[in-house]
Structure 1
């Protein structure tokens, strides 16, 4: 089953019960405003006589209103599901792909292509197109499709890889929809809860900890294992590997879990299946240790290499952060087990993590060490978890380095100067490294450029690069409001604008696909700025590491390594949205950070960028910008 568009519109309107225009809803759902208006009409037909409606107000948009709460609640509980969800529609390519994967992964015999086509009500040519997608998905799990004349097709590969594919492709986040045991949905859910309870009790008995996400993944894999054992599909584990696993704490816990599962499901778990469960546990354990001595020497060496690689390529030095080394070590130790067995930890907050562009880029660079060491490709889900650790460390570093040196200049005597100083300290102490005061005459003698900010109650004519804010002698509330953005965010819009250029700001850009856009922007950049390499090719290389497009319609391409002695940002607002790696994009922010860049402007840009990427309302407004000033007014504040 899948959500209807009507349900998605309903969810948007009822989330905060405020006005939305059809254009805003269309941008969120990636459809036209006309389609939204048509769906709202249909929604109102459904809601008629049920105590609610969507009202449209000229100049404001539409808003959800409930007139009879009791009627509405009865409707939601008894009838809404009929309109909110549809059954599988094989006109939907994704539904067809999932169906083909399902029938092939759960079959050990050859299946005739014509039989599958008849089930899907599609032509053989359409099936062949869908099969190409299926093959590309299976390739990630080292599985192949074998065809045999007059017999059909089937999947070939290891049982372990088949189970991982089943878990990741078919049942993650929606396992309750499937009835593996030919029971009702209600009983099916009870069985899932029974598996969960057995696992949790085993963990409690052995004082063993894993995350909630890892627990859910383990329950899914146990669920699938029972199904596969019942159908005669058993795991194979090499004898030497079985001996190694039996020495682990995880194997003992796996034995306990399988004993209880055997009793509940009347199924026997051979040693190879117990080993399979212990492999999953190895990749999911949380360590309660909190010192560097608890981390294996091999992992410590890898972490040092990873941090050195970050330092070398993007000039962020985290090598001396012991807290980071410990947290990374505790995370990477089970990660190595996952990599070696082809397992993956799901990451439900990946999209939000990726919005911290600096941390995610640093993590992408760091995992290359693991890729080469273990001959793997670390997934975006796993990169996201490493990015979380790096994000905390980068923030910790910024807190230390972003404290400011402030000069207060007062023309009303030492008493007023001290009053201004203590008022300033009381409001902004956490942002201050040094705070000095002086009068107008002494201000002419000292080097004003050594300060980050000058706050003065009298006009200063002496030239300085430092930002000067003029205030009253008593630092009133309006003065504090004027100072606060600088203290919290470091620089203002004028300084931030130095990273942008009118020549590299494009609106209503009309091109056919994403790669044409990247090529066009690369050519325009080359016309204006000298680069130390091929920007277009470097961006393509970066896209291979992980996609730079987001669910909010923004893409942030950038070269894999710095190619310039100047930091600059290019912005392109597209005439029409285009598809980029299954995401719809209409705003591109192309980043070019100069080699060995460590300026406060760039730190502030990343700060603003992170805030911008988390604010859907800002993004919608920014896409309507007609010029750079309008864009920066939205982006910076």
Structure 2
């Protein structure tokens, strides 16, 4: 069970002052407002329910914990074993502070923030200065009112997109889908141990998942795209429930995205018991337009983008001329890269000092010259676009996959669990096929599909991320399968060969 620093302090006070502690005493000890205490108490009431403990308020005494001795001892044990949030770095802490301020409906004081994030008020002031500078890149600002605390104010759509980006960068796909699977309509009390994921309500995540599932539009998107869709929808639900609405319309080039958004929000509206404004539909349609959830379309379809096709062709030709490899004859590269660029150019990037993805860094380190060439040529053929390092890494993967592409080999039955997208999946398949002849078939699956997989049928399970609590033996690999990893895989398969079919 997870408790925030403030929730943990309230519970410790309630256990210490078992005769009761007043609203005013909690405000003074925590250095927060009356509304904040009400909100924390309301959250704790739900959290304590599975422990058979009630949090009540009695006249003349204040707040009390009611439960049998065994339940109270269990709560003390939970608190003693509870780890405080460790953000690992100053940058991660500043992301968490920004995310919290984006979620909060009321102003926060420097003292209360310092308490929650386990730093001194002086350190918190330094953190807030950096947060304030980062917000200058968006239509948002840190509003300070002496004696009344501080809050982030500004454009609602920017707030949601920035919050989505911060939460997404703070949670991995396995933890996200594990938490989502624990949520049921009759039991929404499960709390994630991840600080960022806890900023989205379980109710909103559940409703968002139902809306997306019923739409049946996203079976073919990657895990990280699905996480981002679910997050932006859940964040929007929480914001709508707080009466914070989108107040501008977003132009959409394709009416299809608007229809998809309408379909999803009709389900959401019924579940949350309110009608959804047209601007909300327009906002969600804009988010969906940045998701490549359709099969890549061929050049004979009416919706084929001639301008984009020309740019991609020119990019591939220029990279071929600048490198020692001719990519121009690889039609798969052209179609896959066209689909990727179509989505990438529509995507709303939020580059809040995000640390580089370590897996993409390995790709870049593997192909440094190719990476530099692609980066240079993108500026020539897509001069109006700005690509962050992560997006450049994914574009590089398409070219790297072309280098590694080869006919299928034969061997053992292998499952690869990969959350990083179609480009990463393809380079994995390519390297396994080319360099591990012991493999007969390779299936790549997303983390979100794990409930539908019969793991027992595979001779070897590989994963690009850590899978805590996974009951089958598996081996972690990098998306590039470097030489030492390939050698180790071949050795493992050779040792298993006596169990493989002839």
Q: TM-score of the superposition, structure 1-length normalised?
A: 0.43
8 Å contact 2:142–2:150 — kept in the other structure? yes
Aligned match of 2:319 = 310
Aligned match of 1:296 = 305
8 Å contact 2:311–2:382 — kept in the other structure? no
Correspondent of 1:278 among 274, 282, 285? 285
8 Å contact 1:363–1:390 — kept in the other structure? no
8 Å contact 1:279–1:341 — kept in the other structure? no
Once residues 189 and 435 of structure 2 are traced to their aligned partners in structure 1, the CA distance between those partners, rounded to angstroms, is 56
Correspondent of 1:266 among 265, 273, 287? 273
Aligned match of 1:168 = 165
Cα distance change of structure 1 residues 119 and 325 upon mapping to structure 2, 3 Å threshold: closer
Q: What does residue range 554-569 of structure 1 map to in structure 2 within 5 Å?
A: none
Aligned match of 2:210 = 197
The SS at the match of 1:287 is: coil
Correspondent of 1:97 among 94, 98, 101? 94
The SS at the match of 1:233 is: coil
User: Structure 1: 5+ residue runs without aligned partners?
Assistant: 3-79, 401-486, 490-550, 552-608, 618-637
Aligned match of 2:482 = 611
Cα distance change of structure 1 residues 353 and 248 upon mapping to structure 2, 3 Å threshold: farther
The SS at the match of 2:125 is: helix
Whose radius of gyration is greater, 1 or 2?
A: 1
Correspondent of 1:184 among 186, 189, 205? 189
Aligned match of 2:428 = none
1:337 and 2:346 are equivalent in the alignment? yes
The SS at the match of 1:185 is: coil
User: Structure 2: 5+ residue runs without aligned partners?
Assistant: 4-76, 193-200, 408-433, 437-464, 466-479, 489-502
Q: TM-score of the superposition, structure 2-length normalised?
A: 0.53
- List per-residue Cα deviations over 1:553-595 (Å, max 9, x = no partner): xxxxxxxxxxxxxxxxxxxxxxxxxxxxxxxxxxxxxxxxxxx
Correspondent of 1:250 among 257, 276, 280? 257
1:392 and 2:389 are equivalent in the alignment? no
The SS at the match of 2:384 is: helix
Aligned match of 2:122 = 125
Aligned match of 1:86 = 83
Aligned match of 2:237 = 226
Cα distance change of structure 1 residues 293 and 287 upon mapping to structure 2, 3 Å threshold: farther
CA RMSD of aligned residues (A): 4.6
Q: CA deviation at 1:336?
A: 1.4
Q: CA deviation at 1:154?
A: 2.8
Cα distance change of structure 1 residues 144 and 189 upon mapping to structure 2, 3 Å threshold: closer
Correspondent of 1:215 among 206, 221, 226? 226
Q: CA deviation at 1:90?
A: 8.1
- List per-residue Cα deviations over 1:187-227 (Å, max 9, x = no partner): 965763553233122125xx985333322211111110011
Once residues 234 and 204 of structure 2 are traced to their aligned partners in structure 1, the CA distance between those partners, rounded to angstroms, is 9
Structure with the largest fraction of strand: 1
1:134 and 2:144 are equivalent in the alignment? no
Once residues 380 and 397 of structure 2 are traced to their aligned partners in structure 1, the CA distance between those partners, rounded to angstroms, is 18
Q: CA deviation at 1:335?
A: 1.6
Q: How many residues align?
A: 325
Q: CA deviation at 1:327?
A: 1.6
Once residues 400 and 383 of structure 2 are traced to their aligned partners in structure 1, the CA distance between those partners, rounded to angstroms, is 24
Cα distance change of structure 1 residues 292 and 203 upon mapping to structure 2, 3 Å threshold: same
Once residues 115 and 281 of structure 2 are traced to their aligned partners in structure 1, the CA distance between those partners, rounded to angstroms, is 40
8 Å contact 1:262–1:269 — kept in the other structure? yes
Once residues 88 and 304 of structure 1 are traced to their aligned partners in structure 2, the CA distance between those partners, rounded to angstroms, is 48
Q: CA deviation at 1:274?
A: 0.8
The SS at the match of 2:150 is: strand
Higher relative contact order structure (alpha carbons within 8 Å, sequence separation ≥ 6): 2
Q: CA deviation at 1:234?
A: 1.4
Q: CA deviation at 1:233?
A: 1.6
Q: CA deviation at 1:119?
A: 4.2
8 Å contact 2:435–2:486 — kept in the other structure? no
Q: What does residue range 529-548 of structure 1 map to in structure 2 within 5 Å?
A: none
Q: What does residue range 150-161 of structure 1 map to in structure 2 within 5 Å?
A: 150-161=147-158
8 Å contact 2:292–2:340 — kept in the other structure? no
